[in-house]
Amino acid sequence: MKGIIFDLDGVIVSTDKLHYAAWKKMADDESIYFDEQINNRLRGVSRMASLEIILEKANKTYTDEEKLALAEKKNNLYRELLKELTPADRLPGVTKTLDELKARGFKLAIGSSSKNTPQILKYIGFDGFFDAVSDGNNITHSKPDPEVFLKASEMLGLSPEDCYIVEDSTAGIEAGLAGGFSTIGIGDAALYERTLYKIRSFDEILGIVK
């Protein structure tokens, strides 16, 4: 194995909690029921697809224009919350583990559905750290489609068989499997039966990759 492609939200940084807070505010304002369990279904899924999942609980139907306005409202709230991020918001074990993986010669990439990836990487001090960044700005299909990971491996100059993907979402694990990658799951994805390597803490990656 030569490369490792990391999801961002909920793997490298705790932005999954900020996504939840922003969607929760939007849902409350619209009197739509929304909880952490529904939020787990939004992991790895694009902004508009996430909104569609939340609207399953709505009592009215929304026009396409209204949907765009709701998604924009959520994104504006989310971007306000992002401004508070610092390197201290990297998840436990991330800094040490990534440094060690680099030292072992692995090429490291980000594979995230988020269009906010560049700003987030800046806020947490990872601007320029990864060998490649593939995100919501350069894909047309969101996870579980493998596009974002395939683009990342292409940017690294590696084939999927030579790369692991690290994910917290079942959609991301499915994307990894569809692309022919070895899958490592943390959090929600560690509870998923189709995940190849299930980990409880980020530093366990060091014992898996070779």
Residue from 3, 10, 176, 179 binding Mg ion (CB under 5 A): 10
Q: Name the binder of 115 from ligand BG6, Mg ion, none, CB < 5-8 A by kind.
A: ligand BG6
* Residue 199, strand partner residues: 186
Residue from 145, 168, 174, 188 binding Mg ion (CB under 5 A): 168
Give the nearer residue to ligand BG6 in terms of CB position, either 77 or 199: 77
Q: Name the binder of 153 from ligand BG6, Mg ion, none, CB < 5-8 A by kind.
A: none
> Is 174 one of the binding residues for Mg ion (CB under 5 A)?
no
Q: Name the binder of 134 from Mg ion, ligand BG6, none, CB < 5-8 A by kind.
A: none
Closest contact distance (angstroms) between CB of 105 and ligand BG6 is: 27
- Please give the structure tokens belonging to residue 8: 């961002």
Query: Rounded to 5 degrees, what are φ and ψ at 10?
Result: 90, 0
Calculate the alpha carbon distances from 81 to 8, 14, 75, 78, 177 in Å: 16, 12, 10, 5, 32
Q: Which residues bind ligand BG6 (CB under 6 A)?
A: 8-9, 19, 42-47, 50, 75, 112-116, 136
- Please give the structure tokens belonging to residue 68: 């765009």
Residue that the structure tokens 């980020």 belong to? 202
Closest contact distance (angstroms) between CB of 137 and ligand BG6 is: 8
8 Å CB contact between 149 and 134: yes
CB-based contacts of 106: which residues, under 8 Å, 6+ apart?
Answer: 1, 2, 3, 4, 209
Give the nearer residue to ligand BG6 in terms of CB position, either 93 or 136: 136
Q: Name the binder of 45 from Mg ion, ligand BG6, none, CB < 5-8 A by kind.
A: ligand BG6
Residues 62-91 that bind Mg ion (CB under 5 A): none
Find, among 101, 118, 113, the residue nearest to 175 by Cα. 113
Active site residue 9: yes
